[in-house]
Amino acid sequence: MKWPRHVKRPSVSTFRRQIRGRTVTDVLRRGKFILIPLDEQVLVIHLMMSGDLHMQESTNPRGKFEHTVFEFESGWQLRFSDSRKFGRVMLLKDVSEIDNSLGPEPLADDFDPRLLGEILLKHKRLLKPLLMDQHMIAGLGNIYVDEALHRAKLHPLRHSDSLNAGEIKALWKGIRRSLQAGLRHNGASIDWVYRGGDFQNHFRVYGRKGEPCPVCATAIVRIVVGQRGTHFCPTCQVEEHAQS
């Protein structure tokens, strides 16, 4: 462990002691967390901005950013590479703590327009920060929210309780389609050290300030909402809709 600050809980020494000799029983995901249930406790990893996990034989030389390494008896290693060192590793008793802190999974069968509508109506917030909030819906990051709002033709600063049924349905569809597009392209690689997919070549608005909207060719605009760069088409995503 070259970067002990990866370990958020418990203390580094307890973490080292408790993870020794454990057996991996599964690999799961909840929101942006990777959950690795062990025969006792569960290993939780958050990749954050630049994290990457890969299996390597222990004889392979260690990469510059492979700060945290888990050794397996088979001679293989799970290596957590993280150039910006924002990633986190935790050892928890069970997944309930993570589970209870997160909103529904947007790709789950029970995430329907009605459930999304309830969340939007109840919280009365601006769309962009609400959708980014992991307590509301789990797993949406900056890219996927911008892409989903463009697909739904909704301005990022619309109030969540101002959407009509058609707009809620469009947003629901936009969220699912954006995530599915990301999965299809194996995710986005916006960091040079991250060995991800090519979704970044298919963005509709994210990171495309001044470039033409794929729907109407208007130049994409970038604003800052809640300290996050936010991209949208001022023609497709008008700020004020007639309320119905």
- Measured at the CA of 97, the angle between CA 91 and CA 101, to 5 degrees, comes to 130
Place of tokens 């049924």: 165
Of 188 and 233, which CB lies nearer to Zn ion in the complex structure? 233
Closest residue by Cα to residue 129 from 111, 141, 116: 141
Q: Quick check: 162 binds Zn ion (CB under 5 A)?
A: no
3-state secondary structure of 198: coil
Question: For residue 10, what are the contacts with CB-CB under 8 A and spacing of at least 6?
Answer: 18, 91
CB of 236 to Zn ion, least distance (A): 3
233 binds Zn ion (CB under 5 A): yes
Residue 235 interacts with Zn ion (CB under 5 A): yes or no:
yes
CB hemisphere CA count around 34 (13 angstroms) = 16
8 A C-beta contact, residue 5 and residue 88: no
The least distance separating Zn ion from the CB of residue 208, rounded to whole angstroms, comes to: 11
Listed ranges 61-69, 122-130, 133-141, 230-238: which one lies at the site for Zn ion (CB under 5 A): 230-238
Residues in contact with Zn ion, counted by CB under 5 A, come to a total of 7
Q: State which residue, 77 or 237, has the beta carbon closest to Zn ion.
A: 237
In order of 53, 173, 232, the CA distances from 80 in angstroms are: 5, 34, 34
When asked if residue 236 is in the footprint of Zn ion (CB under 5 A), the reply is yes
What is the footprint of Zn ion within residues 163-222 (CB under 5 A)?
213, 215-216, 218
Cβ 142 to Zn ion shortest distance, Å: 19
Residue numbers at the binding site for Zn ion (CB under 5 A): 213, 215-216, 218, 233, 235-236
